Amino acid sequence: MITSDKKLSYYHDEVPDSHKDEFKCLSGMDVISLSVQPKFQKGVKHVVPSCEYYQVKGSHSNIYPVKNSVHAIARQMRRAARKSSFAIGFPSYKYPPLENEDIQIIYSQEKESDIEKALSQAKKMLTLSEGWDEANAKRIEPSTFQAAATFLLRYVNRLEETNIYIQTPEIDPCPDGSIDLNWHTDNARMLVNIRQENNEYVAYYYGDFYDGKMPFKGNIAVDTFFDFFAAWMKYLV
Half-sphere exposure of 7 (CA within 13 A, CB side): 13
Q: Does residue 133 touch another protein according to CB under 8 A?
A: yes
Q: Find out whether 203 and 197 touch, Cβ atoms under 8 Å.
A: no
Q: Does residue 30 touch another protein according to CB under 8 A?
A: no
Q: Which is nearer to another protein, 8 or 174 (CB)?
A: 174
Q: Which is nearer to another protein, 42 or 135 (CB)?
A: 135
Q: How far is the CB of 224 from another protein (least distance, A)?
A: 19
Q: Does residue 232 touch another protein according to CB under 8 A?
A: no
Q: Does residue 120 touch another protein according to CB under 8 A?
A: no
Q: Which is nearer to another protein, 43 or 215 (CB)?
A: 215
Please identify which residue in 99, 135, 186, 227 interacts with another protein, judged by CB under 8 A.
135
Please identify which residue in 52, 170, 200, 223 interacts with another protein, judged by CB under 8 A.
170
User: CA-to-CA distance for 104 and 122, rounded, in angstroms?
Assistant: 32
Q: How far is the CB of 123 from another protein (least distance, A)?
A: 15
Query: Among residues 90, 84, 107, 105, which one has the least CA distance to residue 3?
Result: 107
Q: Which is nearer to another protein, 66 or 203 (CB)?
A: 203
Count of C-beta atoms within a 10 Å radius of residue 179:
25
DSSP reduced 3-state for 181? strand
Q: Find out whether 173 and 179 touch, Cβ atoms under 8 Å.
A: yes
- Region from 21-29, 50-58, 108-116, 133-141 binding another protein, contact rule CB under 8 A: 133-141
Buried b (16+ CB within 10 A) or exposed e, 107-118: bbbbeebebbeb
Q: Find out whether 199 and 143 touch, Cβ atoms under 8 Å.
A: no
Query: Which residues make up the interface to another protein (CB under 8 A)?
Result: 128, 130-136, 170, 172-176, 178, 180, 182, 189, 191-193, 204-206, 215, 217
